[in-house]
Amino acid sequence: MLHQRFTQLACLLLLPLSVTHAAAEQIFTQSGNVPQLVELYTSQGCSSCPPADKKLNQLLEDPGLWKQRIPVAFHVDYWDYLGWKDPFATALNSQRQYHLKKTGAISNVYTPGWVVDGKEWRGFFIGKALPKVAAKEANTLTANLSEDRHVSIHFPQEEQLAAHVAILSFDLTSEITAGENQDKILQNQFVVTYFNQALSSNNWAFSLPERKTEREAIAIWLTYPNSAEPVQAVAGWIE
């Protein structure tokens, strides 16, 4: 489904992955290879989206999950008018997709929309597998998550970078009672239920909301300003 309204919205704007514990703190680190970031822009109000959601859901079984590949699902709100209001959709997610269009990362704003390592990927529509993980290396990215849900991020680079932080929720089942997917039961994984970003160099800090679902993960990636390609990324399950 192609979204025809193009407006300019301002952006609000491995190999080894390890998760260790110091008291009640979780420490996530990523050294060397840069994981592949897979973004899916989707909506429960879009009849074309369930197959894409299913493909993303299958990455739960990917042996390279978090270490080599980080999937995130941004639910957009611009299809809510079709009769079903997606409970996971936000205007911020829609704005993020519009910003990708504005910066040239994607050609149009539509769902399902795939972005792999900051670039539009249309292989899904002709049945292709996701691209192979690129052989890229970067410095060590470290994120400390405290018991009170504060996350501090460190990456040794003096240039300004944008840190993007997403909380992902899982096993979200919805019975659709209206709209294009009426009478379907949809299960969504990797759903972005919190997202924030900030510009800085070397260090960033964020306060996360309270836990919303039993199973959660955190995904963090760094980009240069006005670029969608990750410089480095780290992700893992929140305990």
b vs e for 183-206, b when ≥16 Cβ sit within 10 Å of the residue's Cβ?
eeebebbbbbbbbbbeeeeeebeb
Per-residue model confidence as pLDDT tens digits over 10-35: 333 333 444 443 447 999 999 999 99
The confidence score (pLDDT) of residue 23 equals 41
83-102, pLDDT tens digit by residue?
A: 999 999 999 999 999 999 99
Nearest to 181 by CA among 110, 86, 67: 86
Tens-place pLDDT, residues 31-75: 999 999 999 999 999 999 999 999 999 999 999 999 999 999 999
7 found inside a domain = no
User: What is the Cα gyration radius of the chain?
Assistant: 17
| Mean pLDDT within 111-132 | 98
Which pTM was predicted?
A: 0.90
pLDDT over 90 for what percent of the chain? 89
pLDDT tens by residue, 184-222: 999 999 999 999 999 999 999 999 999 989 999 999 999
What is the number of domains present in the chain? Answer: 1
Residue 24 is predicted with a pLDDT of 76
Instruction: Report the pLDDT value the prediction gives residue 1, as an integer from 0 to 100.
Output: 54
In a domain, 1, yes or no: no
CA 194, CA 208: separation in Å to the nearest integer? 8
Domain residue limits at 129: 17-238
